[in-house]
Amino acid sequence: MNLLRACLLCLTSLLLISCNSTSQSNVGDGNSLDSSSADKLALAKSRSARISEISYQLSLDLTQSEHFNGTTRITFKLSDTSTPLSLDLLRANIKSFVINGHKIYPRYNGKAVILSPSTLVSGSNTVDINYSQAYGTQGMGLVRFMDPKDGKVYLESNFCADHASMMFPLFSQADLKASYSLNVTVPKTWLVISSVKEQKVIDSLESNLWQFPSSPKLSPHMFSLHAGPYRVWKDDTAKSKYPIRLFSRQAIADDISPQIWFKDMDKGIRFMEEYLITPYPFSKFDMVLSPMMANDDAIASAAVASISENMTHHLAPLQQRQKTIIKTTMTNLTAQWFGALVTMNIWDESRLNMSLRSLITKKTLAHLGYKSLDSKHFYDPIKAKAYVDDLLFTYHSDTSILPSAGVHKSEAILQGLEQLIAEPDFRLGLQHYLTKFANKNVSAADFFASLSLDNKHDLTQWQQDWFTTPGVNTIKAEFTCKNNRVSEFSLLQSSASKQHPRLREQKITLALFTKGRNELHRVRSISLVYKGERTRVRQLNGTRCPDLVYPNYLDSGYVKVSLDKRSLKTVKQHLNMVTEPQLRSMLWQSLWESVSDGELALNKYLDVVFINLPKEKEPVILKQVLTNLNQSKTDLELILKNHSSYIHMALKGLEQMSLRKAMVNDENPNIQHLWFDAYIQFSHTPDSLTHLAKLLAGSSSIKGLKIDQEMRWKIVTQLNRYDYLGSRSLINKELNRDQSPRGRDAAIAAQVSRPEAGIKRYWLTHIQHDTNMPFSTLSIAMAHLYPREQKILNSASSEQRLESLAQLDASKSDRFMKLYGQYLLPTRCDHRGLALLKSTIDKQAGLSATTQKALLQTHQSELRCVAIKEHLLR
């Protein structure tokens, strides 16, 4: 606790981990430290064409605290010896190197050992390497964690996407599958977990040797290793032939309810086996609760799921924890088929398998009686995310770092594909896919070819239209009425951009509504296929003139909707009269997308909010709109200098509306909690901040509302974010009250968010340069360092953050750079900020794909913000 407080007071760092910074390491033949992503891909393809029948025999000594020692034997077949071959090994101390029986001095550049053609033979080759390495940083490689509570040490691997070379030498690319045998020496109290169950444990005086048999063929990122003095539980109730185990660190073991984790696991495996007509690919399934993952993350590897222990958080209601856990465990189970058994050729293509996991997870949850976990989102949140991604891909698809279909789009269009070819044929296609490519690597074309075998659809054109061509199109109704009857009706389709003018063909359902006294009545709905720029809908002629038309009724198509003028007028005044929750949700989302696309002024959107949202009684829809309103608050604070009078009024309106609705919903706890959570986020004026402080102190209350520990931390963070008088002292005071891991994390978030230049400098320095601070701590700091309203503090280091980007990218992991790009690339919501980002994008062609994509996303976000600013009050 003293160490944590010292960190919060900016006196010292938190828990130390002995390690060095990492860098991207997917190198190929003739590796160069400055190779571009395209060069590395070409080299990787060359390497995979030459190598086959790979196996690794790993012997690791994990008894040291500063580093670990290893000996690896690699056997492989080589088709030719005409050029050098690279063997990936990141920042190791090589003690001996033997190739084909000849001991040599290795040609090693810190990332890879370059094998000379003169040392290689056509056919079977053997390489023996004895080495030592430091433990990984930023959550990648083999990471070491010392528990602050009891001092016990735990080791955990994370090899996504190409970081296995931080633990052992290998050919580190997804399409070079291999078998792995493992011997691990650890302290006597430790357990060791890997992709297969241990074969033997040999005792010695001070340590134990754990021996594992050879694994099935796996891509490197699907192999794993966990070690430490874990507490273990076994699911003794399961009827399955596959053992299911749960592991956690000792310090939290007494708080674990293993029955929550084991619930429905066996049923889930059996359903997936039956639905996919393919047996579970491995002999066991282990769940390891990880203290090293932020939020509710999870990483699937073969027969092992590493899951953030935050899911054990007991402040959350039991039902909520159960829902989160069951969805996470089932998703990790599907990864055993789509990821471990069948693996995409390159890591960047894994979005297809991720989408298939999500699709099968939804079916499994529905079978187990958890259908509401996903179907309760009336407007498909996957499509909402896909549309955002597609906008980015549309405007920047000339760069090789962006796929044509992101993971969210892949998932959304796969649902449409299943409807197109019918579920039985889709299911049979999945079985062909898994059977034909078991233990192999595939491309997206292989998947679509498998689905084409048993149905009459040639999916080549479909794949071209939807999977490989970026952009989400928009449809809009156009109609005229005479004597209150439709005289002409058309659907207009517009392309995503001038760069991608493709107009698609798709079946959707269109619905017409008219106003009644208390609700909007659906008078007609029809299914139709639209294509081209204009599709005339003659069957609607003579229909009663509608007050509202929604062209993607039931969310059946992958397309955005732009409301016609008559429908938009109706929605502005009477959206709450739409009685169908799904349609109401879709209308809200269509309005928000119109704001994001620069078609609807933000102030007009807020007019709809203030008129209609107070009457919303569906928690899922309320949460959906409040999330967008929080983004609206961020946008308004960024453009405060422009239209300051209106913005102050709008922000205060959000503050007052959320408080009023929290106060009047005392008999509806779900609605009340959502409004109160929004009130905390919207509070920024002296009056509202004082009210929050009184609620925290217990000198004020809201009828029916019990302020739990999570709410208390949100209040403390908000008070510190706006530098409320006395808020600094509240951090330590709350920390005395809540000493849980989440409490310590929340204390860091509150301290980091304070608008003080010294705090910003301290944390930015540690984020950029501290290789000892735990990744979970760094991730919290990044997420809270620069709230959008702290524009001056953000601008003070913005140019430095851009100038140091290349250096950071070369020394940090993909996982680190993804978060850094999400939170610490500077945003200004003006043309100067756009110019700075564009200049950085143009100059930084050598950056990793992760960082390049983050730059493009930030640039796209800035374009959006500038468009919103320029349309405000027009």
Q: What is the pLDDT of residues 800-821, one digit of tens each?
A: 999 999 999 988 888 889 899 9
Confidence at 33, pLDDT banded by 50, 70, 90: very low
pLDDT at 405: 62
- Tell me what percent of the residues of the chain surpass a pLDDT of 70: 90
pLDDT at 452: 83
Confidence at 328, pLDDT banded by 50, 70, 90: very high
- Whether 856 maps to a domain, the answer reads no
pLDDT at 160: 80
- Whether 170 maps to a domain, the answer reads yes
- Distance (Å, rounded) from C-alpha 352 to C-alpha 370? 24
- Whether 696 maps to a domain, the answer reads no
Please determine, for residue 398, whether its predicted confidence score (pLDDT) is greater than 70. Answer: no
Count of structural domains within the chain:
2
Q: 248-254: long-range contacts at Cβ-Cβ below 8 A with a sequence spacing of 24 or more?
A: 248/288, 248/289, 248/309, 248/312, 249/147, 249/152, 249/154, 249/289, 249/291, 249/309, 250/147, 250/150, 250/152, 251/147, 251/149, 251/150, 251/152, 252/289, 252/309, 252/312
- Whether 590 maps to a domain, the answer reads no
Q: Which of 219, 196, 429, 194 is nearest to 340 (CA)?
A: 219
- Whether 482 maps to a domain, the answer reads yes
Confidence at 232, pLDDT banded by 50, 70, 90: very high
The domain boundary, picked from 565, 594, 624, lies at: 565
Average of per-residue pLDDT across 348-366: 86
Q: 55 — alpha (psi -120 to 50), left (phi > 0) or beta?
A: beta
Please determine, for residue 349, whether its predicted confidence score (pLDDT) is greater than 50. Answer: yes
- Distance (Å, rounded) from C-alpha 291 to C-alpha 426? 39
Per-chain mean pLDDT for the chain: 88
Q: What is the pLDDT of residues 421-472, one digit of tens each?
A: 888 889 999 999 999 999 999 988 899 888 887 666 778 888 888 887 888 8
Is there a cis peptide before residue 161, judged by omega within 30 degrees of 0?
A: yes
- Whether 493 maps to a domain, the answer reads yes
Q: Which helix (H) or strand (E) segment is 3 a member of?
A: helix 2-8
Q: What is the pLDDT of residues 131-140, one digit of tens each?
A: 999 998 767 8
- Whether 238 maps to a domain, the answer reads yes
- Distance (Å, rounded) from C-alpha 624 to C-alpha 622? 5
The torsion defined by the Cα of 777, 778, 782 and 786, in degrees rounded to 10, comes to 70
CA-based radius of gyration for the chain: 28
pLDDT at 455: 65
Please determine, for residue 632, whether its predicted confidence score (pLDDT) is greater than 80. Answer: yes
pLDDT at 31: 38
- Return the ∠ at Cα 324 (arms to 318 and 328), rounded to 5°: 140
DSSP state of 135: B
Q: Which of 760, 781, 777 is nearest to 16 (CA)?
A: 777
Q: Are strands 231-234 and 342-344 parallel, antiparallel or unpaired?
A: unpaired
pLDDT at 17: 26
Q: What is the pLDDT of residues 379-396, one digit of tens each?
A: 667 777 788 877 776 655
pLDDT at 538: 96
Q: Are strands 304-308 and 285-290 parallel, antiparallel or unpaired?
A: parallel
- What are the two backbone dihedrals, phi and then psi, of residue 454, each rounded to the nearest 5 degrees? -115, 20
Tell the residue number behind the tokens 């209350």, with chain if given: 701
Exposed (0-12), middle (13-18) or buried (19+): which is 667, by Cβ within 10 Å?
Answer: exposed
Confidence at 35, pLDDT banded by 50, 70, 90: very low
Please determine, for residue 340, whether its predicted confidence score (pLDDT) is greater than 50. Answer: yes
pLDDT at 454: 66
Q: What is the pLDDT of residues 462-521, one digit of tens each?
A: 888 888 788 889 999 999 999 999 999 999 999 988 877 889 888 899 999 999 999 999
Most confident of 26-40, 115-129, 546-560: 115-129
- Distance (Å, rounded) from C-alpha 312 to C-alpha 259? 12
The torsion defined by the Cα of 406, 407, 410 and 412, in degrees rounded to 10, comes to -110
pLDDT at 30: 38
pLDDT at 371: 65
- Distance (Å, rounded) from C-alpha 287 to C-alpha 212? 18
Q: 1-6: long-range contacts at Cβ-Cβ below 8 A with a sequence spacing of 24 or more?
A: 1/735, 1/739, 3/148, 4/148, 4/735, 4/744, 4/747, 5/732, 5/735
pLDDT at 8: 39
Lowest mean pLDDT among 59-63, 208-212, 240-244, 753-757: 240-244
Average of per-residue pLDDT across 620-631: 94
Q: Give 372's contacts (C-beta < 8 A, 6+ positions apart).
A: none
pLDDT at 773: 87
Q: Give 839's contacts (C-beta < 8 A, 6+ positions apart).
A: none
Token representation of residue 126:
């053997």
Token representation of residue 158:
């994370």
- Distance (Å, rounded) from C-alpha 558 to C-alpha 466? 9
pLDDT at 238: 61
Please determine, for residue 32, whether its predicted confidence score (pLDDT) is greater than 50. Answer: no
The domain boundary, picked from 565, 582, 604, lies at: 565
3-state secondary structure of 777: helix
Q: Which of 680, 736, 690 is nearest to 711 (CA)?
A: 680
- Return the ∠ at Cα 692 (arms to 688 and 697), rounded to 5°: 145
- Distance (Å, rounded) from C-alpha 850 to C-alpha 771? 20
pLDDT at 305: 96
What range does the domain containing 487 cover?
473-557+559-565
Token representation of residue 610:
């203030």
Confidence at 22, pLDDT banded by 50, 70, 90: very low
- Note the Cα 506 to chain centre separation in Å: 29
pLDDT at 298: 86
- Whether 437 maps to a domain, the answer reads no
The torsion defined by the Cα of 590, 591, 597 and 601, in degrees rounded to 10, comes to 170
Average of per-residue pLDDT across 95-118: 96
Average of per-residue pLDDT across 76-83: 95
Q: What is the pLDDT of residues 836-862, one digit of tens each?
A: 888 888 886 678 888 988 898 899 889
Q: Which helix (H) or strand (E) segment is 747 a member of?
A: helix 741-752
- Return the ∠ at Cα 148 (arms to 147 and 150), rounded to 5°: 70
Average of per-residue pLDDT across 236-258: 88
The domain boundary, picked from 506, 536, 565, lies at: 565
Transcribe 88-122 into DSSP letters.
E--SEEEEEEEETTEE----B-SSEEEEPGGG--S
pLDDT at 423: 87
CATH of the domain at 117: 2.60.40.1730
Q: What is the pLDDT of residues 271-305, one digit of tens each?
A: 999 999 999 999 999 999 998 876 667 899 999 99
Most confident of 14-23, 318-327, 437-446, 695-704: 695-704
CATH of the domain at 516: 2.60.40
